[in-house]
Amino acid sequence: MHTLDAIGSKPSPGAAGSSVSPPAGSAEHCRGPTETTWQTFREWLLENLNTNQRSNSRLRDMVTSVAEMAQHTLAASSCTVILENGHGHTVFYHTHSVNRSREVAQARTDTLDGPAAWVVRHKRPVMLNEASDWSILEARRGAQCEGPGARILCVPLDAGGHILGALELTRHKAEEPFSERDLNSARMIGATAGITFENSMLRQSVEEGYRSTIRALASAIDAKDPYTCGHSQHVAQYSMVSGFVLNLDADQLQKLETAAILHDIGKIGINDAILRKPRKLSTTEHAIVKHHPVIGAAIIHSIDALHEVIDLILHHHENYDGTGYPHGLKGESIPLGARIIGVADAFDSMTTDRPYRRAFTINEAMTELLRCRSTQFCPQALDAFAIGFSRHYSALPWRPRVLEQPDRLAMCTH
């Protein structure tokens, strides 16, 4: 097993919360990660996927393709795509340089300067071949210019009159000046790319709205039981780091996120008196609760956009040795995503307080998971979780409390 000694020692992507969470049951605890914190976590995971795991539809990949194509077509020594992302004045840079042909640089800034600023402001291209051409610019040369004497061709990223940013190409002074023909080619690339980027950003915006709606729905489910507030999102974060370790691609990770957030949606159909019962459930009550995966699958079945996560929700309580429910599936006949969610679900349940017991410490919960390796839990999913939790602990939007005097109740089964 991977040690947890490194916990807290790695940099967090965007300072995602403190290392000690608020007490269970408090209002702050129930809120779970904020929208911004969750987005930062998601973006960090998706940005750090291997190149071949990223979805081709992602904006970053489109920007890379356009930058490479423009640079190659116009024999430029570097190409920078500058995109205003719609959040204040933040600017997204993407540079592709012939001298670092496989290297892609990104940066964000609050101010736009130089030729790109002029192009965005005036909504027309500019061609700067000689030092005297710079007099057309009202602003001083910006940091994104390659250096004194560089030749620059900059065109707007024009989505039918809506300027999204600029495409800036450079050539060294020793190279051929840009021509009118180059200008026309760049202008066409800028117009085509503008429409493509705008479509991608609109799609991203719709998807973000969709994910927010799903999370709001899950929060409503969690709120049925004050002791499980935030549970759905905790399970989602643990599932995603496991999927990340298992090299799932971007589409699979997003499917896993949705399924994990909705895994207990079937509890909507379970009586509150049972869900909120402050003592252990009777056999009959437990049998009723065990219907929730089937109820959840039935609810999701009526929503076309969520069909691909039905199996993960239906099977998240199957055990690797076939002793789980609802179908008693065994081993790899259980969908991998459901096996991942099963581990994440158990870990969050153990590390949060319940009415009848206090939370386990992280190490105790991990020991308990390992005790049930290959019986309740899939070894592949469990190992991925152990590695992911240890390696990416500081990146998690929410972290379990570390208790000094935990109860030591075993809870291998549900």
Residues lying near Fe ion in the complex (CB under 5 A) are found at: 264
**Residues in CB range of 301: below 8 A, 6 or more apart:** 307, 310
Q: Give Rg (Cα) of the chain.
A: 26
Least separation in angstroms between residue 304's CB and Fe ion is 23
> Cβ closer to Fe ion: 225 or 264?
264
Contacts 24+ apart (CB under 8 A), 405-408: 406/358, 406/359, 406/360, 406/361, 406/364, 407/357, 407/358, 407/360, 408/364
Least separation in angstroms between residue 239's CB and Fe ion is 13
> Cβ closer to Fe ion: 186 or 344?
344
Least separation in angstroms between residue 289's CB and Fe ion is 8
> Cβ closer to Fe ion: 158 or 264?
264
> Cβ closer to Fe ion: 264 or 364?
264
C-alpha distances (whole Å) from 107 to each of 66, 104, 140, 179, 212 are: 17, 10, 20, 29, 26
Using CB positions, name the residue nearest to Fe ion: 264
Tokens of residue 314, six digits: 């239906």
Contacts 24+ apart (CB under 8 A), 205-209: 208/39
**Residues in CB range of 378: below 8 A, 6 or more apart:** 320, 331, 332, 334, 336, 339, 340, 342, 343
> Cβ closer to Fe ion: 191 or 274?
274
> Cβ closer to Fe ion: 79 or 265?
265
Least separation in angstroms between residue 110's CB and Fe ion is 44
Tokens of residue 346, six digits: 């158990």
Least separation in angstroms between residue 347's CB and Fe ion is 13
Least separation in angstroms between residue 150's CB and Fe ion is 60
Least separation in angstroms between residue 316's CB and Fe ion is 6
Least separation in angstroms between residue 229's CB and Fe ion is 15
> Cβ closer to Fe ion: 145 or 260?
260
> Cβ closer to Fe ion: 120 or 260?
260
- The arrangement of strands across the sheet holding 91-97 comes to 100-109, 91-97, 78-84, 162-171, 151-159, 126-128
Cβ-contact 128, 145 below 8 angstroms: no
Measured CA to CA, the distance from residue 185 to residue 153 in angstroms comes to: 11
C-alpha distances (whole Å) from 22 to each of 30, 345, 357 are: 9, 20, 18
Three-state secondary structure call for residue 357: strand
Q: What amino acid occupies position 243?
A: G
